Amino acid sequence: MAVAIAIGVGGLLNARRVAETMSHKITSMNAGQGFAANLSTALLVTTASVHGLPVSTTHVSVGSLLGMGIVTGQTKWKPVFGVLASWVVTLPCAALLSGAAYWLVRLV
């Protein structure tokens, strides 16, 4: 229940910022390019699901947008590095928080 609440609160607080970054800050695109990025994301996530592979839709979508930006030469690297840094920081932070939560639960 706590995880669901945390995910919900995180979505409420940052969903607009994530959407803004993905739709405008990674690369410039026209409607056709946006469709191609969304189609490749859908195909990759569906294929991974069929094979039982855990993937993040957001990560796959960012990869699709980045690939399109690289091909068109319109990648805006500063926001991309910010996204990559957030991914690198997320794993150790999640490990520390889950370890602290486990430690607190064991005390009780």
- Residue 99: predicted pLDDT: 94
Closest by CA to 20, choosing from 93, 71, 76, is: 76
Q: Do 68 and 23 meet the contact criterion of CB atoms below 8 Å apart?
A: no
- Residue 3: predicted pLDDT: 78
94-98: long-range contacts, CB 8 A cutoff, minimum separation 24: none
Q: What is the mean pLDDT of residues 41-60?
A: 95
pLDDT for residue 4 is more than 90:
no
Burial of 79 (0-12, 13-18, 19+ CB in 10 A): middle
The proportion of the chain whose per-residue pLDDT surpasses 90, expressed as a percent, equals: 73
